[in-house]
Amino acid sequence: MGIGVSSIFIVAIVSTFIGAVSCIQTAYNLVSPIIPISTVALIVRDMQILELAPTITCIVLAGKVGSNIASELGTMRITEQIDALEVMGINSSSYLVLPKVLAAMFTFPMLVIFAAFLGIFGGYLAGTLTGVITERDYLYGIRDSFVPYNIFFMCIKPFVFGFLIATISSYQGFFTQGGALEVGKSSTQAVTNSCISVLIADYLLAQLLL
């Protein structure tokens, strides 16, 4: 619950502004009179669906959710809460880590769909309010040459990224040794490693699935 719902606000802010900026910057670069202005909306849509919504959202989530998971598990480790579970005969990794991994794998795609919608909507707002594109052209552009497979590709990415972020962060937190300083280090390491793994996986998925 905390992994998905508590991230809605930051995802909404980031994706709306990225959509708005990508619309303005695409319009700024499209100066040829032979390219219809509705192409701006088409580019915003494809950028959002193929790359910005899944990857940028998951990079943001690696920072927010990854550090949260690592610091929570790290604190539980140094305060002997994980030892208490193990002494009771409870499998601490499946009790603590598995729900986090599953939550990330199933909520990240939902957040990414939400981010893609808001990104396209952000482009619409920025484009129409500043007058770089009309409402009619924008709506035409986002429906033009639409490839449904791209939506499937967009949903596969956060599923994989969610798994990577949750497992890497859990590993860093679960095996924390020492005190408060080490919890901070684990948290930083979790975010760094998660971001790198997301970028590598992003490249591999693009190679494999497109």
Partner 1 sequence: MIEINDIAKSFNGKQVLKGITSKFEKGQTNMIIGGSGTGKSVLLKCMIGLVKPDSGHVLYDGRDFYNSDKDTQQSIRREMGVLFQGGALFDSKTVEENVRFPLDMLTDQSHEEKRERVAFCLQRVGLEAAAKRMPSEISGGMKKRVGIARAIVMNPMYLFCDEPNSGLDPLTSVKIDELIKEITEEYKITTIIITHDMNSVLEIGQNIIFLYQGDKLWEGLNNNITKTDVPELKEFLFSNKLLREMER
Question: Where do contacts with partner 1 occur on this chain (CB under 8 A)?
Answer: 75-76, 79-81, 83-84, 86-90
We find the least distance from the C-beta atom of residue 68 to partner 1, in angstroms, to be 13
Distances (CA, A) of 86 to 77, 93, 94, 188: 11, 9, 11, 26
Residue whose CB is less far from partner 1, 40 or 97? 97
Q: Tabulate helix, strand, coil % of the chain (nearest 5).
A: 85, 0, 15
80/135 with CB nearer partner 1: 80
Supply the minimum distance, in Å, between the C-beta of residue 75 and partner 1.
8
The token pair at 13 is 């802010």
Q: Are 133 and 23 in contact (CB under 8 A)?
A: yes
Tell me, what amino acid is at 49?
A: I
Of 145, 146, 147, 123, nearest in space to 135 by CA: 123
Decide whether 60 or 76 has the Cβ nearer to partner 1: 76
Provide the minimum distance between the beta carbon of 62 and partner 1 in the complex, in angstroms, as a whole number: 23
Q: Which is nearer to partner 1, 78 or 125 (CB)?
A: 78
Return the number of the residue (82 or 190) whose C-beta is nearest partner 1. 82
CB of 86 to partner 1, least distance (A): 6
Please report how close the Cβ of residue 91 comes to partner 1 at its closest, in angstroms: 10
179: left (phi over 0), alpha (psi -120 to 50) or beta: beta
